[in-house]
Each structure stands twice: as C-alpha cells, then as structure tokens.
Amino acid sequence: MISYKKYLEAGFEYYQSCELDKKRKRKKTSLGDQRLQKLRQLLDGMGLERSDMQKNFHEQFLAACANKIYSDDVNPNMHAIAKREGWTDLKQQVVCSTPRRFGKTTAVAMFAAAFAVALPDTTVCIFSTGRRASSKLLALVKSLIDDAGYLENVTKSNAEQLDVCVNGRSSSIFSYPAAVSTLRGSGGDCIVLEEAGFMDEEIFLQIVVPLLEMNSTSLIAISTLPPDAKNFFNDLLVLRDAGGELLFNVQEVKLACEECIKKKKPAECRHMQSLAPPWKDPNRMDFVSLLYGERDDLMARETLGVAGEDRNKAFLSELVESMFKRTIKLRRGQVKAVFMSYDPNGGGDSELSLITVCWYRGQCVLLGADAQKARGSDEVETVLLLHYRRVRQQFPDAWVIFIGESNLGHEASWAANCLAKKATRFYALSEKTRVGVITTAERKQAYVSTLLQLLATQAICINDKVFTDTKGVKKLERQLLAFKKIKKDRAYGLSSVMFSGKGSGNDDLAMAMLIGTHFSNKFTKKELSVNYRSMGL
C-alpha cells in the first residue's frame, strides 16, 4: 500500500510557511522601528568606515535615545525592543572614555547628523571645550549630512546652529563652547559633552544636571581621561546608585590589559592592540613610547586610555586623600586661636572662598570651608558673617586671626572691617600698614612647600565636624588634587616655575587653604610681627 502522508505533511508545511511569509510582509513596522532603521542606514551611509568602537558607541547612543526614537509609538514595549536589538542597558545617560585619536569627535558628529535627519522636531545640543572646537564640530556634522545626501535639506547653517528640514519637519543641532555664563537656557533632546573631562565641573552641575530632571533628555558624555583623579568625569565612570548599580551606561576603551595595569606597567602592555581603530598602527606603539620617554603617565592616559598620576601635580593624590581621611575631635576650650583665611571673589566664575584652620598638638586641623559666588557687598558680607558665626559656635573663646589676600586692592581691608564690627577677640594680619597679605609667585611656592611638608609628615587633618554650606570640603579636595606645577621657559635657557589650579576650574578654595596653612604656621611659630602677649598667646 502506497502512503502519501509524508508528501501531504510536507505540502502543508510549505503552504503554512508561504502564508506566514505573506503575513510577515503585510505586517506594518512601527514608526519607531522605521526611525531606528533610518538611523542605522544613515550611520552606514556617510562614506566612512566605522571602527568597531564607533559602532558599539553608536549602539549605546541609540539605546540611550530609545525613548525619543519610539516617542510617537503607542505604549512601546521598551524591554522587548531592547532584547530584540541586543541592548543590555537602556539608561539615558552614556559615559564613554577612550584613548586619544580613537574617533570620538567623528562618532559624535555622525550620530548628531543622523539624529537630526531621522528624528523630526528634535534638538541636539553639543557642548565643546572652546569656540574653535565647537564650530569645527558643527562643520563636520554638515559635511557628513552632505555625504549622506541631505545637504539640500539644510535650511540654516552658522557657527553655532544647523537646521535640517525633512518632509516639512525641522530639527536643530546646536554646538556651543562650554561656559556657564552663556549656556543657561540651553537644552535639547540629546545633550552631548564632547571632551567632557576637560570642561569645568560647573557646566555639568549648573547646566546639564537640571536638564536631566526631564525624562525626555538623553546625555552622551565622551572624553579622553583627564589628568585630575577627582575630575567629575572620572567620578561619573564609577558613580553608583543606592542599590550599587552604575548610574550611567559606562563604556571604557583601554589599550592596556587589567593585569598590566595592576602591575603599574600599562605603558609596556601590548595585549590589547586588537582594539585599536584601523587608522592607528599598532607597530608604532614602541616608537610612541620612545617619544614619551619617562612620561609614562602621559602615555598611559593619552595613548592607552588608562588613568595615571599626573607628574605635574603639586600634591600627590594619596597624600591629599589621606589628609581628608584623618579626623580629630576638637571642641571649645581646646584651642586658643583659629585662623580664617580669605580669598576674595575675583569676578567671572571665581568664588569667594573661606578656610578656617587651627593648630592642636602639632597638627594643623581644618575646621571649615566655604566657597560661593558673591556679587556685591551685601552678598559678600552675608557669606563672611555666616562663616564667622559658625567658627564662634564651636570656639566661642578663641581668638579669630583673619588672613585676607590683598591682591585685589582694599578687598581684604573691607572684609576685615566688616567682621570687626560684629566680632570679638578678632585680629587681622597686615603687611606694611595694609590689612591682608600679598601673594606673589615666590610666595606661592612657599605656600606649596608648607602644605607639602604638612602632608608628607601627616601633620594635617580635618575636624570631625567641619562646617560648610557649599560642599566645601569636597571642592577643596578636588582643587588641591588639580593644583599643578607649571614650568615656563624663558630667554637664555632659563625657566620659571609657578603653581595654579585654574586649568581645571576654580582654585580659590585651594588658594585660601594654602594661605591659611602657611601664615597660621608662621603665626604659631611666632615668626610674624604680632603682639602675641597682648592676646595672651
């Protein structure tokens, strides 16, 4: 007997597959899916061969902007979409670190161009380290839009703005130099911090963080690692929530393996060269190493993407961090004098800074730290008096020795008079009949030497109840870690050395600390022209 069962089953399976194929073809893709497909097509169609790193970064950017991509769909299942697309993280904030010349800027420009073309009625806002960088980046975005075939859709183009209109609907890309004073009011659906590690922290705190309160805003922060260990960008790479989960989608690219990093020999590592993009020749790594010479710290950071101690730092990280971990418990009656040092507000982004220290059994003890922008005499007086009252709450019977920097004319004299009207047991240091002390380049070296000696001998610590209204202790630690030695070459083969922390933002609190520790040390050793006997000291 002949059986046709297997032929019938095969025929039925073929019929089913044909019908299912028809249904698949008839099935409509969502608008979000269409936009996602368009974004990927654009990223592949700009005439550039993307490196593996750039492809991965772009996928992370797409995941961070998924809410915007699918914003016009009705109740999209984002978890199902993420699983389908292979996205393991839907956080709307991405932080990326790479070595130098890895294609970060090009990756950002490509994504901004694709975002504006594929997603109508959106805004991309890019913050760069300076005007030249911001205008150059926007010019690159425009050229990529041209390469993708959409130059005729550009309706506006200047140094800061580029508008694209597709099917009658416009999107904008803004590219600005990062400055707190000019960026208030800026915002968008996608915020990009290009070379974020080299921006002022205040940009992030005052401009970016308020934008992240809106669930419609995505953030892309991308940078080479900055030299400052306590830079806010380095903090973002490890910042965790209360549950211990990373707060950001962190993408780090390093050309040194963990084993070599642990051995503190990242500059010698050649185990991760497969991660280098096509335009970087792994065979030239030994050549580059010879050019860096003894500056292994620079090679690790710039070429390998590994954090390392900057050799130009005025104060070693381990010494500064150790200082802030050592605490002592001081209360009223234990000290006879406290020293309030004052660095006036110099205008711009600088802050009025106050540090109060005392000396107890050979230890310099940090009691208080405040730093605030104060505009006008009323605001300055408020900050001064608040800091003074806190000193008095803990040490009502101690002498308050006021040490004001007088480089700004009569600012220190005015502040001393302001406090003297309300204060008791108050004395203001003066030089040459002028209230305050002058900071010169030579003196700044002496300030640094004093603090270095205190750090190296563990003769400086903090009180267990440091008073501050402005997270001053954290600011102070950051500024001390960012303080650097700067060597300047002069004529005839001579050179000079200066110290500053302004390259990484404000250094006002650090300066107040340096002034306070130096002159309080001299005061306690009775090396100043002061009538100690009249004060009972």
Do 381 and 278 fall into the same domain?
no
Q: Rounded distance, CA 161 to CA 163, Å?
A: 7
Residue 92 lies in a domain: yes
- On whether residue 10 sits in a domain, the answer given is no
pLDDT for position 4: 59
Q: Are residues 174 and 198 in the same domain?
A: yes
Sign (positive/negative) of CA torsion 71, 72, 77, 83? negative
- What average pLDDT does range 250-257 have in this prediction? 88
- Statement to judge: residues 146 and 281 lie in one domain: no
For 420-462, how does the pLDDT look when each residue is reduced to its tens digit (9 = 90+)?
988 889 999 998 888 989 888 888 999 999 999 999 999 999 9
pLDDT tens digit sequence for 101-122: 888 999 999 999 999 999 999 9
Instruction: Specify whether 275 is located in the same domain as 350.
Output: no
Tell me if 308 is assigned to some domain: no
The domain that contains 369 carries what CATH number? Answer: 3.30.420.320
Which pLDDT score, from 0 to 100, does residue 175 have?
A: 92
pTM greater than the 0.85 cutoff: no
405 - beta bridge partners? Answer: 437
279 within some domain: yes
Parallel/antiparallel/unpaired status of strands 123-128 and 93-97: unpaired
Closest CA to 222 of 42, 46, 61, 62: 61
pLDDT, tens digit, for every residue of 135-147? 999 999 999 999 9
Examine the domain organization and report whether 208 and 99 are in the same domain. Answer: yes
For residue 155, give the CATH number of its domain: 3.40.50.300
Q: What radius of gyration, in Å, describes the C-alpha atoms of the chain?
A: 30
| Residue that is written with structure tokens 């980046």 in the block | 137
| pLDDT at residue 215, as a whole number | 86
Ramachandran region, residue 43 (left: φ > 0; alpha: ψ -120 to 50; beta: rest): alpha
Specify whether 349 is located in the same domain as 467.
yes
Please indicate, yes or no, whether residues 242 and 95 belong to a single structural domain of this protein: yes
Q: Are 504 and 483 in contact (CB under 8 A)?
A: no
Instruction: Let me know: does 188 contact 210? Beta carbons within 8 Å.
Output: no
Residues 177 and 288 occupy one common structural domain: no
Dump pLDDT digits (tens) for 10-54. Answer: 555 656 666 555 544 444 679 999 999 999 999 999 989 999 999
Phi then psi dihedrals of residue 278, to 5 deg:
-55, -30
pLDDT digits (tens, 9 = 90+) for 503-516: 666 788 999 999 99
Interhelix angle for 508-524 vs 472-482, to 10°? 90
The H or E element that residue 504 is part of is none
**Whether residue 234 sits in one domain with residue 326:** no
**13 lies in some domain:** no
Residue 143 burial (C-beta neighbours within 10 Å; 0-12, 13-18, 19+): middle
496-505 contact pairs (CB < 8 A, 24+): 496/441, 497/445, 498/441, 498/444, 499/314, 499/444, 499/445, 499/447, 499/448, 504/226, 504/228, 504/231, 505/200, 505/201, 505/202, 505/349, 505/479
**Residue 51 belongs to what domain range?**
31-252
Same domain, 116 and 95: yes
- Please give the pLDDT value at position 156: 94
User: ∠ CA(192), CA(247), CA(120), 5° rounding?
Assistant: 35
Strands annotated E in 432-483: 434-435, 460-467
Residue with more model confidence, 269 or 80: 80
Query: Please, which residues bridge with residue 162 across strands?
Result: 157, 173
In a domain, residue 465? The reply is yes
Convert the pLDDT of each residue in 155-210 to its tens digit: 999 989 999 999 999 999 999 888 777 777 788 899 999 999 888 888 888 889 99
Q: Are residues 180 and 243 in the same domain?
A: yes
35 and 122 assigned to the same domain: yes
**pLDDT score of 25:** 47
Query: Is the residue at 166 inside a domain?
Result: yes
Domain tally, the chain: 3
- Residue 84: predicted pLDDT: 93
How do strand 154-157 and strand 161-166 relate by DSSP bridges?
Answer: antiparallel
Let me know if residue 170 belongs to a domain: yes
Q: Taking 90 as the threshold, does the pLDDT of residue 265 lie above it?
A: no
- The residue ranking higher by pLDDT, 394 or 408, is 394
